[in-house]
Structure 1
Amino acid sequence: MGARAQPTARQVRLGSILRDLREGGTHGSQDAVARELGWSESKLSRIESGRLGINDADLRTLLDLYKVKDRGLRAYVVDLRRRGNVRGWETGIRSVVSAMYADYIGYESDASDTYNAQTTLIPGLLQTYDYAAAVFSQHAPEMSEEVKNERLAIRDRRQQAFNRPNPLVFWGIISESVFRHAIGGPDVMAAQLEHLLTLTKEYPGTINIHVLPESSESHAALFGPFVILSFPEQWEPDIVYLEGLTGTRFLEEPGEVRAYSRLFNRLMMSESLRGDDSLKLIESHLKNYRKG
């Protein structure tokens, strides 16, 4: 038998919405719903995890059972089901990156906003080619040139999200200490910081950068890097993405997502510098690299 295809990011999101509808109603467990529909519990479990597709008839049956009357929500869920079978470009890169990261790219391609808090590196969506190449060389020196070039191409393609008809809106909080790490050397860092300043001018309102100064109490020791993805439809819950040295994971439980959203809002509103002050601080670090 051939290997079973991984679910697309949209299939996983559809399953998550259906699970939330079930848990938010009065129908209770997967077993209770499955028995009422004459399904196996395994079938419903696999639909909710995205491992099993669902046809239009079964989807309408579920929505009727859950008493979903909102026409907008019903239309969106049906459209998500139909688009879920379309495998995006991220499905073709699983031999180069982890399945979790490929899923993240799938989510990112449909997101309306991304909220990035970075304590160690310039966020990937804002990295220059030379900076990203230096990061790969330092973090994975055993990586072959072929794989490195493929990963750099993936990063470049992700950055096209700012040029799509409905551009991805980037909200970034970057620890000031990131600017002191001379990744790739002074020239690479100078070009990277200049790139940040250029992006904010070329994409006003789309790319928003706030610097968390080293004087802040909420510095790198108090939290690690994380990303929150938000989607254009109100029915789609936000997703938190955590990436570490030994692995990555998603957080989708409402309580966990709210905790990270509160942290990001506090960092944005109370701890980080305002937009112009952030850009001035970046400019000061840029001047230091140019002097060197």
Structure 2
Amino acid sequence: MPNQRAVPTLRRRRLGEALLAARKAARPEVSQGRAALAMHWDESKLSRIENARARIKPTEVVELLKVYGVTDAGTITALQDLARDAGKQGWWHTFGDVVTPGYSDYLTLESDAESTHIWAPQLIPGLLQTGSYAREIISATGMTRTSEEINALAEIRKARQAVLTRPAGPLNMWAVIDIGILHQRSASHPSMMREQVRHLLDLADLPNVTIQVMDLDATPHPGLAGGFHVIRFPQPWPTVVNLENLRGGSFVEGTADARVYEAAFERIVAAALSVADSRQKLSEYLERVV
């Protein structure tokens, strides 16, 4: 409906933040009132755009960036594209309320990302999970979930994995998993981990997927403080870090904070087995476990 208020989706929030940053970065800095006047808008409209509560057309993005003196073609195109996609709903919205707002934000980030670096000390990352492993883990961690919700979340987790093979540029994924994960067992599905490890080896054959194993004799590293996902995007979008917990997780979006996790991941990679040795370790697991 034309008069319906814009929902402050994650993409719309990122667009508003980017336009606000561009206005403040202009030299001299452009006031909200001056920018609105140049666009022939009420000042309240620009305020709502910057706060993700109003839509802005891609053509208006171009004109507004001219006011701010932004000439970089890549930045202009990126903001135009975000304005065009800001109101779009992802495929996961068909699953209804089972997808919380925070999880929806994560799925949006994952679908827009160009790469993700994951340190997984407790669980196989969702993008690498088999269906049986996903159901087992969701059932164990989703303590208040119904069986229908668990099945729906497992379906979503499998559907997410399409980003690894999407034709228009697959997501580049680098995951470091702790070897202790391989000792998880399922009473209802005894072959669960064997199937999961075989799946890891299959995915490791993809050119955009790198998997390493943190062995028991690894030297101390920053990952001992807990797991995290570093999610990277094309310019000009900043890196985002996701920290998971029982309530779904939280985001670290400050540039300085994100760099800490990026540096931590580099040290984790250095402490883990090499890619070749990791593959050998996973293959030995299959030979050892019946």
Q: Which residue of structure 2 lines up, in the alignment, with residue 200 of structure 1?
A: 204
2:149 is the counterpart of 1:147: yes
Q: Which residue of 2 aligns with 1:179?
A: 182
Greater CA drift, 98-107 or 181-190: 181-190
Equivalent pairs, count: 282
Residue type at the aligned position of 2:265? F
Q: Specify whether residues 178 and 16 from structure 1 end up closer, same or farther in structure 2 by C-alpha distance, changes over 3 A only.
A: farther
Q: What code does the residue aligned with 2:34 have?
A: E
- Structure 2 match to 1:259: 260
Structure 1 residues 104 and 65, CA gap change in structure 2 (3 angstroms): same
> What is the Cα deviation at residue 279 of structure 1?
1.0
Paired residue for 1:35? 33
Q: 1:125 aligns with which of 116, 127, 131?
A: 127
Q: Is 1:277 the equivalent of 2:277?
A: yes
CA distance in 1 between partners of 2:223 and 2:256 (Å): 23
Which AA in structure 2 matches 1:187? S
TM-score under structure 1 length normalisation: 0.86
Which amino acid in 1 is paired with 2:262? Answer: S
**1:52, 1:155 → 2: CA distance?**
32
- Kept in 2, the 8 Å contact 1:90–1:102? The answer is yes
Distance 1:5 1:289 in 2: 54
Aligned to 2:172: 169
TM-score (norm. length: structure 2): 0.86
Partner of 1:22 in structure 2? 23
Deviation at 1:113, TM superposition (A): 0.9
Q: Does residue 53 of the first structure (1) align with residue 55 of the second (2)?
A: yes
Letter in 1 for 2:70: V
Q: How far does residue 195 in structure 1 lie from its aligned partner after superposition?
A: 0.9
CA distance in 2, matches of 1:146, 1:59: 43
Deviation at 1:254, TM superposition (A): 0.6
In structure 2, C-alpha distance between the alignment counterparts of 1:289 and 1:23, rounded to whole Å: 59
Is the Cα–Cα contact under 8 Å of residues 113 and 232 in structure 2 kept in the other structure?
yes
- Alpha carbons 1:90, 1:106 under 8 Å: kept: no
CA positional deviation for 1:88:
2.0
The structure-2 alpha-carbon separation of the partners of 1:42 and 1:212, relative to structure 1 and needing over 3 Å to count, comes to farther
State the alpha-carbon separation in 1 of the partners of residues 44 and 155 from structure 2: 39
Once the two structures are superposed, residues 212-269 of structure 1 have per-residue CA deviations (whole angstroms, 9 ceiling, x without a partner) of: 22222346872211111112x321211111111234211111101111111112212x
- Aligned residue for 2:97, secondary structure, equals coil
CA distance in 2, matches of 1:84, 1:120: 34
Greater mean alpha carbon deviation, residues 81-90 or residues 274-283:
81-90
Contact residue 8 and residue 91 of structure 1 kept, 8 A: no
Could you say which residue in structure 2 is the equivalent of 1:7? 8
Distance 2:204 2:223 in 1: 28
Query: Structure 1 residues 229 and 48, CA, compared in 2 at 3 Å: closer, same or farther?
Result: farther
Q: Which amino acid aligns with 2:138?
A: F
**What percentage of aligned pairs have identical amino acids?**
34
Shift in Å, 1:45: 4.8
User: CA 1:276/1:229 → structure 2, altered by over 3 Å: closer, same or farther?
Assistant: same
- What RMSD in Å do the two structures reach over aligned CA positions? 2.6
Separation in structure 1 between the aligned mates of residue 223 and residue 197 of structure 2, nearest angstrom: 23
Q: Is the 8 A contact 2:93 2:99 kept in 1?
A: no
Once the two structures are TM-superposed, the CA of residue 289 in structure 1 deviates from its matched residue by 2.8
Q: Which residue of 193, 203, 209 corresponds with 1:189?
A: 193
What SS does the aligned partner of 1:259 have?
helix
Indicate the SS of the match to 2:157.
helix
What residue in structure 2 maps to residue 65 of structure 1? 67
* Local SS of the residue matching 1:182: coil
Question: Which AA in structure 1 matches 2:266?
Answer: N
CA distance in 2, matches of 1:262, 1:11: 29
